[in-house]
Homo-oligomer: A and B are copies of this chain.
């Protein structure tokens, strides 16, 4: 089995698209035809299937955000599991956004739950919070290596308050997020770097030459196609750009994904 990083790169090449569609549905915002007759958790699933059908050939990967499913308890998790299954059946990679992070047996349980083919979720990749360090990451890295899965560690997040801890300057002069980027390079995993911080993204790109960067913040959060360029390598590889609301709640989800794909390709000169 090809490593996750290579599978993702091949899918990006094949679809000429670095777009990651964020499956962040909210019941109150669903078009009426989905929200009318079903319980919320199942309305989310039907809506996701519609979005997946729209975007399956114009993006390599989708990213469900676990919070919107956890909100409906056990039913929400069942809906998430079916969403993952459906996306995979349409040839999409699935990156589940859970930002988990713990230690020892707890990290082992999370890694088994989400990355093992024997677990209930069996996604291709996971987001992880690395604040607890290497022994927090190790069980995820082990499962990822064994099953050719991916792990994306938060390096510099796209929100305004990310400056409070992540930009703290350490005594060597480097900010905390650069120390995290160096750990990511040591772990040889993937990373999350907000597209809303292009200067920091350029620095993170340098520090983690092997990592695939997930760049959130495009669209609703304000980042443009030009802003995501520093997350890519000079040859246009090495990053995916997430957009959630700007695609799934667009009047035409498919056209919104195509427009985003083309805008990024144009900015990359591809």
- Enumerate chain A interface residues (CB-CB to B < 8 A): 24, 26, 65, 67-68, 70-78, 81, 99-107, 109-110, 112-114, 119-121, 129-136, 154, 157-166, 168-171, 173, 176, 179-180, 183
Contacts and interface: CB of A to CB of B under 8 A. Distances in A.
B134 A164 contact: yes
Copies of this protein, total: 2
A119 B71 contact: yes
A131 B127 CA distance: 14
Given A103-B157, A103-B158, A171-B173, A120 B73 contact: yes
A102 B133 contact: no
Given A71-B112, A78-B74, A171-B171, A180 B160 contact: no
B24 A70 contact: no
The 6 closest A-B pairs by CB, nearest first: A73-B120, A133-B161, A133-B164, A67-B109, A74-B78, A103-B159
Contact of A168 (B73, B103, B112, B176): B176
Nearest to A133: B161
B163 A109 contact: no
A221 to B, nearest CB: 8
A122 to B, nearest CB: 10
A98 to B, nearest CB: 9
A33 B133 CA distance: 38
A113 to B, nearest CB: 4
B161 A134 contact: yes
Given A68-B109, A101-B129, A135 B120 contact: no
B104 A159 contact: yes
Given A132-B162, A133-B165, A170-B168, A73 B81 contact: yes
Contacts of A170: 168-171, 176
Nearest to A171: B169
B75 A74 contact: yes
22 contacts: A26-B105, A67-B100, A67-B110, A67-B113, A70-B109, A71-B109, A71-B110, A73-B113, A74-B74, A101-B129, A103-B161, A129-B129, A131-B131, A131-B165, A132-B161, A133-B161, A136-B161, A165-B179, A168-B179, A169-B170, A169-B171, A170-B176
A102 B63 CA distance: 14
Contacts of A103: 157-159, 161
Contacts of A24: 105-106
A162 to B, nearest CB: 6
B176 A159 contact: no
Contacts of A106: 24, 65, 67-68
